[in-house]
């Protein structure tokens, strides 16, 4: 198996003297499905920005397929967190076409092939009927699918998702994870979320961070959660305990 | 009103009004969707420093205003590319510094205050053929840039980080946008005066945004609205013997208020 992402001793932040993430070592193998959990302000988005090459680490190194993230931008599909209040005048098709900007190049119009790729990815996410709609008229779950279609339109090998289930209801979450599991057959997936209860059975590995990497493995112990969130797991879970989170590490692995 | 068109100054006013609407609609749309009307305001006010310097040193005020506006835009681009939180402070500082420098220069130059007033509140009935040329050239440049780089402007305005990941030269696009905003602000100063430039860059686009679902449609509608406001304001000002810049702004503001009420009623009933 190839290494898709490797962070080595990464310390990064935005203001000098105030690192958001500290000395993080994390390796993601190709075709992994990694969920990174941690409290808000714990550095999850910062971690993604380092992997994306949008933020240069103060210390340590980040690499994607053995090279600097900047060199591998075409390999990475990014699904940012939804901004609910946004009212930008743009159609669904125009959003998805953004994933073809690199292919189209400056000063040129999008080609027929670009449009077909965009349509294909909308269909892949079952939102092809919305192509001509105003982005603002969509529900949170639909917008999320459009943003994933946009990321996939660039034909990435790695998909990075920031809080993808923050604005969707429970049923939508289930179908959403089924979809990600399907994509995972060909694409490496890393998603970050503050919601421990949202981590589904489809996830192959779980990393827990709060400034530093607290744990990384196939399962997550309630001690790790308590350490990351600063409170017992029971206080942060809602809607039953997900079976991936093992009490005291005694239960068998799935 | 019709017989007024026999005067050259009135013909010039009509031509500049229409030409400026194109720049105003396109750039105003980008200013509005990027939520940068405060930036447009500070660029316009920074240019006052250039006006003062031009009067003092004895060169064309339009050149002075243009240089200061572009320099201000470049300064803000440099600050905002490093740190977003500092942009706000930089804009506020530039806004006031431009005005202060302008006042000092004008006092030193001993310029008659009517000249000054025409820049602050517009001088639509006194536009020259060089103003018309400036407007025409700016329109051509804006149209070429926007048609050539439409998908990039759309992408950078909608999601700058994603655009960067797609290899779009985001800093170049932002810089280009700021410079075109500076030039448009200088052009609009002729019509409404620098104090009211901010209204012409935001009101037509804001109204257009309520009725359109894509960026280019918003640009077209905003341009049409700006032309309507300019010509209606010019006619009304002529008939009532009022300053055209102020009447244009009042008409635009009235249309904006009506649009807001219509939108409120529509969203209330559906």
Share of chain A above pLDDT 90, in %: 51
The answer to whether residue A88 neighbours chain B at the CB level (below 8 Å) is yes
- Is B22 touching A (CB cutoff 8 A)? no
Rounded to a whole number of angstroms, the distance from the CA of B225 to the nearest CA of chain A is 18
> Residue A250: its pLDDT value, please?
39
Q: Which of residues 139-198 of A touch B (CB under 8 A)?
A: 150, 154
Q: Is B171 on the interface with A (CB under 8 A)?
A: no
Mean pLDDT of chain B: 91
The C-alpha R_g of chain B, in whole angstroms, comes to: 18
Closest chain A CA to residue B170: A106
Q: What is the pLDDT of residue A184?
A: 93
The counts of H helices and E strands in chain B are 12, 0
Average pLDDT on A136-156 reads 91
Reported confidence tier of residue A226, pLDDT bands at 50, 70, 90: confident
Counting one residue from chain A and one from chain B, the pairs whose CB atoms sit within 8 A come to: 67
| A253 confidence band (pLDDT: 50, 70, 90) | very low
Q: Of the candidates B158, B165, B169, which has its C-beta nearest A88's C-beta?
A: B158
Residue A12: Cβ within 10 Å count: 22
Query: Mutate which of B29, B159, B165 to disrupt the A interface (most A C-beta within 10 Å)?
Result: B165
Report the pLDDT value the prediction gives residue A243, as an integer from 0 to 100.
47
- Section B194-205 average pLDDT: 92
A54 at interface of B, judged by CB pairs closer than 8 A: yes
Residues 6+ positions from A186 with CB-CB distance below 8 Å: A31
SS3 A37: strand
Contact assignment for A89 to B217 by CB distance below 8 Å: yes
Using alpha carbons, select from B146, B127, B123 the residue that is nearest to residue B219: B146
pLDDT digits (tens, 9 = 90+) for B8-51: 999 999 999 999 999 999 999 999 999 888 888 999 999 999 99
Residue B191 and residue B240 in contact, taking contact as beta carbons nearer than 8 Å: no
Which residue in chain B has the smallest CA separation from A93?
Answer: B214
Instruction: Look at residue A217 and tell me whether its pLDDT is greater than 90.
Output: no
**Given this model, what pLDDT does residue A162 score?**
93
Chain B residue closest in CA terms to A133: B213
Q: Tens digit of pLDDT for each residue in A69-113?
A: 988 899 999 999 887 666 899 999 999 999 999 999 888 999 999
In B, which residues are within 8 Å of A104 by CB distance? 151
CA separation for the pair B5, B1 (Å, rounded): 7
Percent of chain B clearing pLDDT 70 (strictly above): 96
pLDDT at A204 over 70: yes
User: Does A132 or A194 have the greater pLDDT score?
Assistant: A132
B263 touches chain A (CB under 8 A): no
User: Which of A90, A101, A110 has its CB closest to that of B215?
Assistant: A90
Question: Per the CB < 8 Å rule, is A90 touching B163?
Answer: no
Q: Is the pLDDT of residue B135 over 50?
A: yes
Please indicate whether, in this complex, the C-beta atoms of A78 and B165 are within 8 angstroms of each other: yes
Structure confidence at residue B269 as a pLDDT band (50, 70, 90): low
A1 part of contact set with chain B, CB < 8 Å: no
Selected residue with higher pLDDT from A229 and A68: A68
Tens of pLDDT, residue by residue over B41-83, are 999 999 999 999 998 998 888 899 999 999 998 888 888 766 6
Asked if the C-beta of A73 comes within 8 angstroms of chain B's C-beta atoms, the answer is yes
CB of B207 within 8 Å of a chain A CB? The answer is no
Assessment of whether the complete model's pTM goes beyond 0.95: no
Distance from CA of B85 to the nearest CA of A (A): 11
Q: pLDDT at position A79, please? A: 95
The string of DSSP codes covering B27-43 is HHHHHHHTT-HHHHHHH
The pLDDT of residue A40 is 85
Judge: B154–A107 Cβ closer than 8 Å, yes or no: no
**Which residues in A lie closer than 8 A to residue B152 (C-beta atoms)?**
101, 106
| Pick from A220-229, B203-212, B216-225: least confident | A220-229
Using DSSP's 3-state secondary structure scheme, residue B122 falls into coil
How large is the average pLDDT for residues B139-160?
96
Confidence label for A161 from pLDDT (cuts 50, 70 and 90): very high
What's the order of all strands across the beta sheet hosting A3-15? Answer: A18-29, A3-15, A59-64
Chain A residues touching B151 at Cβ < 8 A: 97, 101, 104, 109-110
- Please tell me the predicted confidence (pLDDT) of residue B270: 55
Task: Please give the average per-residue pLDDT across B263-268, as a whole number.
Answer: 84
Helix, strand, or coil (residue A34): strand
Among the partner-chain residues A52, A97, A109, the one whose CB lies closest to the CB of B165 is: A52
Q: ipTM score of the complex?
A: 0.87
Distances (CA, A) of B179 to A13, A30, B54, B77: 31, 45, 20, 9
**Distance between CA atoms of residues A17 and A46, nearest Å:** 15
pLDDT at B223: 98
**B6 vs B229, higher pLDDT:** B229
Lowest-pLDDT range of A4-8, B115-119, B178-182, B239-243:
B115-119
Smallest CA–CA distance, residue A192 to chain B, in Å, is: 17
Look at the block and give the residue holding tokens 């399962």.
A219
pLDDT over 70 at A233, yes or no: no
């Amino acid at each position: 198996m190839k290494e898709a992402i490797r962070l080595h001793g990464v310390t990064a932040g935005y203001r000098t003297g105030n690192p958001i993430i500290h000395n993080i070592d994390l390796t993601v193998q190709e075709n992994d499905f990694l969920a990174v959990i941690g409290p808000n302000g714990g550095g999850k988005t910062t971690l993604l920005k380092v992997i994306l090459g949008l933020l240069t680490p103060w210390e340590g190194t980040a690499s994607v397929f053995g090279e600097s993230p900047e060199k591998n931008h075409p390999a990475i599909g990014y699904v940012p967190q939804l901004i609910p209040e946004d009212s930008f005048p743009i159609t669904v098709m125009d959003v998805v076409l953004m994933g073809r900007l690199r292919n189209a190049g400056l000063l040129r119009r999008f080609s027929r092939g670009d449009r077909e790729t965009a349509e294909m990815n909308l269909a892949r996410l079952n939102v092809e009927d919305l192509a001509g709609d105003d982005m603002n008229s969509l529900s949170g779950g639909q917008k999320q699918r459009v943003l994933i279609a946009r990321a996939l339109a660039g034909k990435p090998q790695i998909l990075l998702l920031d809080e993808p289930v923050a604005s969707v209801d429970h049923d939508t979450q289930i179908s959403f994870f089924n979809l990600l599991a399907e994509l995972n057959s060909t694409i490496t997936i890393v998603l970050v979320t503050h919601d421990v209860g949202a981590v589904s059975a489809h996830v192959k590995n779980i990393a827990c961070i709060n400034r530093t990497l607290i744990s990384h493995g196939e399962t997550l112990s309630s001690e790790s959660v308590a350490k990351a969130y600063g409170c017992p797991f029971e206080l942060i879970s809602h809607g039953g305990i997900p079976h991936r989170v093992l009490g005291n590490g005694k239960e068998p692995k799935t | 009103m019709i017989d007024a068109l026999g005067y050259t100054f009135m013909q010039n006013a009509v031509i500049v009004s229409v030409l400026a609407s194109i720049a105003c609609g396109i750039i105003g749309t980008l200013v509005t969707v990027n939520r940068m009307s405060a930036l447009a305001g500070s660029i316009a006010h920074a240019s006052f420093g250039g006006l003062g310097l031009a009067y003092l040193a004895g060169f064309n005020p339009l050149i002075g205003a243009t240089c200061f506006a572009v320099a201000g835009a470049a300064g803000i681009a440099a600050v905002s590319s490093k740190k977003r939180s500092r942009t706000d402070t930089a804009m506020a500082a530039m806004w006031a510094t431009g005005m202060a420098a302008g006042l000092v220069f004008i006092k030193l130059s001993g310029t008659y205050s009517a000249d000054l007033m025409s820049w602050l509140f517009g001088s639509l009935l006194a536009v020259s053929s060089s103003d018309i040329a400036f407007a025409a050239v700016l329109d051509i440049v804006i149209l070429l840039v926007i048609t050539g780089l439409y998908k990039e402007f759309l992408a950078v305005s909608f999601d700058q980080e994603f655009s960067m990941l797609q290899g779009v030269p985001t800093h170049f696009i932002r810089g280009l946008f700021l410079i075109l905003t500076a030039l448009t602000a200088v052009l609009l100063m002729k019509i409404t005066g620098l104090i009211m430039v901010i209204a012409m860059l935001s009101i037509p686009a804001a109204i257009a945004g309520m009725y359109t679902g894509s960026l280019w449609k918003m640009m077209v509608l905003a341009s049409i609205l700006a032309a309507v406001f300019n010509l209606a304001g010019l006619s009304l000002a002529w008939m009532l013997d009022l300053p055209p810049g102020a009447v244009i702004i009042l008409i635009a503001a009235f249309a904006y208020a009506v649009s807001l009420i219509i939108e409120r009623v529509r969203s209330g009933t559906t």
